[in-house]
Amino acid sequence: QVQLVESGGGSVQSGGSLRLSCLASGFTYSSYCMGWFRQAPGKEREGVASIRGTGMSLYADSVKGRFTISRDNAKSTLYLQMNGLKPEDTAMYYCARVQNCGPVGGWLPLSKMSVAYWGQGTQVTVSS
């Protein structure tokens, strides 16, 4: 069965860095679009970044230039490198297998991407 297991969350001060990892199993990882989503207390879950099997990526405006999504298809692992963290980045971060990233050569907005499978989440807390 499909499993997504996140790791790497923690507590950092504003301006710090963290790297999240997500180990995938139970499907042909390289064939699927993957993504990172987050949910802060009292807020709706939002898309952070998405990446195709080819490595092409899409970012939310709020993290562009600070976060980098990447994948290692040989290791079936998804990463999110987060630099310049801000208190507003505090949230539970979820790895996801995305149902459809969008048409060839284009993207669906992160807010329109449907998710087939979710990981259990990893907490990121940024203090000021």
pLDDT at res. 106? 85
User: Which residue carries 């980045």 as its tokens?
Assistant: 89
pLDDT at res. 32? 95
pLDDT at res. 104? 83
User: Which residue carries 């993207």 as its tokens?
Assistant: 107
Beta-bridge partner residues of 99: none
Rounded mean pLDDT for each run of 10 residues along the chain, 128 residues in total: 97 98 97 97 96 94 97 98 98 96 87 93 97
Say whether 27 sits in a helix, a strand or coil: coil
pLDDT at res. 46? 96
User: Which residue carries 């993290």 as its tokens?
Assistant: 63
Which tokens is 100 given? Answer: 């459809």
User: Which distant-in-sequence residues (6+ apart) come within 8 Å of 53 by Cβ?
Assistant: 30, 31, 32, 33, 71, 73
pLDDT at res. 35? 97
pLDDT at res. 108? 87
User: Which distant-in-sequence residues (6+ apart) come within 8 Å of 73 by Cβ?
Assistant: 29, 30, 53
pLDDT at res. 76? 98
